[in-house]
Amino acid sequence: MIDFNALDVVVLAGGISHERDVSLRSGRRVADALTTAGHRVTILDPNADLLPNLSAHRPDVIFPALHGSSGEDGSLLSLLAALALPTVGSTAEAARRTWSKPNASSIVANAGVRVPRSVSLSQESFRELGASGVLHVVKDYLVGDVVVKPSSGGSAQGVSIVKDPTHLARAVVEAFNYNDHALIEERIIGTELALTILDIPGNTSAFPAVEIEPIDGTYGYAARYNAGLTTFYTPARLDDTAAAAVAHAALTAHQALGLRDISRIDFVVDASGTPWFLEANVLPGFTETSLVPLAIEASGCSVPDVYASLVTAAWQRSRQNT
């Protein structure tokens, strides 16, 4: 690991998105890990005082642990860049690309990774064109079970699996509660996986895949953040060929989206061993039940060391740009 001196690190956690509680838990875990690694850490909850505070006190590095639009749509990241504050993670441009699930899927598909067939639907078009006519087209185009989700956001909020076509309208309306665009995808049956990518100078690699097996069959919000509701297998129960294929697909998606430092890429691997891209996470969860820490530990690495390496990479990047 790169040698470093203790740095003043601000962890950003909280915010006002639907995922505030998850972000606070992530921030606390990141702060504890970085403190263990020897850094001086302060946790700040973004509010009207945040930017003046950061501008005046200028910490060595910012580590965002924000989920939802407050941290992942690129807005805050662009402001931190404007302040020339070293920040862990991807650029604002990459965050904007990835925040939109339809856009991210198109980019990843163009890079050669399989993505589910889908329809992107705005709330305005749903109203203006008539729900009945719109859903008739969707049902004819996407045969079989579908997954309906907000076109941006995380933690499976607003996500529905629709097996009965008569329930599709309700699922779309539920997604619109979280975003004014919904993404309707064909459901790929297989093994659900999450791959963490570490991408810092001298180390670009995929950590062991985490296999996700929810007790009730659906990896929803409760299953993600309540211990005991999901069984995780790390490394995933894949043969060597499928494991290599999904690791390659994850690295391809990470690079195609222009992500940096750390990301989590979610897939389903079907019965033939083909990985299907679901979504990418610019700021993945770092809670006690999150998948990134599980993957790091399964690799034999130390969570504090990995987080510290991210801080060091951000700090060194800023020195190179001055």
Assign domain 118-186 to its CATH architecture: 2-Layer Sandwich (3.30)
pTM: 0.91
CATH class of 97-113+189-300: alpha beta
Angle of helix 20-36 versus helix 303-320 axis, rounded to 10: 90
69, 105, 151, 290: which is the annotated catalytic residue?
A: 290
* Burial annotation 63-75 (CB, 10 A radius, 16+ → b, else e): bbbbbbbbbbbbe
Residues 6-36: tens digit of each pLDDT: 999 999 999 887 778 889 999 999 999 999 9
- For the chain, the average pLDDT equals 90
CATH class of 8-89+305-320: alpha beta
* DSSP calls for 142-192: S-S-EEEEESS--TTTT-EEE-SGGGHHHHHHHHHTT-SEEEEEEPPPSEE
Query: What is the pLDDT at residue 142?
Result: 94
Residues 141-152: tens digit of each pLDDT: 998 999 999 988
* DSSP calls for 1-23: -------EEEEE---SSTTHHHH
Query: What is the pLDDT at residue 189?
Result: 94
As a whole number of angstroms, the distance between CA 176 and CA 198 comes to 33
Q: Write out the E strands in the chain.
A: 8-12, 40-44, 61-64, 118-122, 146-150, 160-162, 181-186, 191-200, 203-206, 210-214, 230-233, 261-269, 275-281
Point out the annotated binding site: 266, 279, 281
Q: Write out the E strands in 1-137.
A: 8-12, 40-44, 61-64, 118-122
Q: Which two tokens stand for residue 262?
A: 């750390």
Query: What is the pLDDT at residue 217?
Result: 57
Residues 192-221: tens digit of each pLDDT: 999 999 999 888 999 999 999 877 656 545
Question: Which residue ranges make up each domain of the chain?
Answer: 8-89+305-320, 97-113+189-300, 118-186
pLDDT along the chain (322 residues), means of 10: 73 86 93 97 94 96 88 90 96 94 96 96 90 92 92 75 91 89 94 95 92 71 59 92 97 98 96 96 90 95 96 92 62
Is residue 5 within 8 Å of 36, Cβ to Cβ?
A: no
Is residue 236 within 8 Å of 193, Cβ to Cβ?
A: yes
As a whole number of angstroms, the distance between CA 57 and CA 41 comes to 13
19, 72, 192, 211: which is the annotated catalytic residue?
A: 19
Query: What is the pLDDT at residue 4?
Result: 52
As a whole number of angstroms, the distance between CA 245 and CA 247 comes to 6
Is residue 273 within 8 Å of 221, Cβ to Cβ?
A: no
Point out the annotated binding site for Mg(2+): 266, 279, 281
Query: What is the pLDDT at residue 228?
Result: 63
Going 265 to 241 to 224 to 302, the CA torsion angle's sign is negative
Is residue 28 within 8 Å of 61, Cβ to Cβ?
A: no
As a whole number of angstroms, the distance between CA 215 and CA 68 comes to 26
Shortest CA distance to 194 belongs to which of 204, 214, 205, 208? 208
Tokens 């305005």 identify what position?
124
Query: What is the pLDDT at residue 3?
Result: 44
Is residue 22 within 8 Å of 285, Cβ to Cβ?
A: yes
As a whole number of angstroms, the distance between CA 206 and CA 201 comes to 14
Annotated active-site residue 19? The verdict is yes
26, 70, 105, 155: which is the annotated catalytic residue?
A: 155
Query: What is the pLDDT at residue 179?
Result: 84
Annotated active-site residue 290? The verdict is yes
Q: Do the domains spanning 8-89+305-320 and 118-186 agree at the CATH topology level?
A: no
